[in-house]
Amino acid sequence: MTTLFKNLALSLLIAGTAAAQGVTIKEEKPGLLKKAKVTPAEAQAAAQAKVPGGSIKSAEIEVEKGKLIYSFDIVTKGKSGVDEVAVDAMNGAVTVAHETPADEAKEKAADAAKAKAREAKKP
């Protein structure tokens, strides 16, 4: 079996696992999914591959620091906090950062402040 075939089979298996979790990708702004070159299934497979055994808690596509990314919060039994996996929606590059519960609370507050500012700008 070629390496390419093995990688494809593994990606399909992981994508099936993520899809089985019933993950819905939220859009920070309408239309972001249409701009992505990487599909939601490919992004989920890449995220799951970086945190094997974890379960996706939330998923969204957003613009962060000028880049279009998929962001997955993945929890793993027996591990506190979450692993935030960012998948570049244009080229599939993956980064992982572990967040403690305190980090999560700060991010949630910052996201709420951004949402409030967006609402204030609406006519």
**What are the DSSP calls for 45-72, one per residue?**
HHHHHHSTT-EEEEEEEEEETTEEEEEE
Q: Which of residues 1 and 44 earns the better pLDDT score?
A: 44
- The whole-angstrom separation of Cα 23 and Cα 41 is 10
In the DSSP assignment, the letter for residue 15 is H
- 55 pLDDT more than 90: yes
Q: What is the pLDDT of residues 108-121, one digit of tens each?
A: 888 888 888 888 88
CA nearest 49: which of 98, 87, 101, 103? 87
Residue 22 has what pLDDT? 66
- 7 pLDDT more than 50: no
Cα-based angle 86, 95, 60 (whole degrees, multiple of 5): 5
Q: What is the pLDDT of residues 64-109, one digit of tens each?
A: 999 999 999 999 998 888 999 999 999 999 999 998 888 878 888 8
CA nearest 92: which of 68, 73, 56? 68
* Residue 85 structural domain: 3-121
Tokens of 27: 């859009």
pTM of the model: 0.71
Percent of residues, the chain, with pLDDT higher than 90: 58
- 15 pLDDT more than 60: no
Q: What is the mean pLDDT of residues 9-38?
A: 72
Domain count, the chain: 1
Q: What is the mean pLDDT of residues 14-31?
A: 70
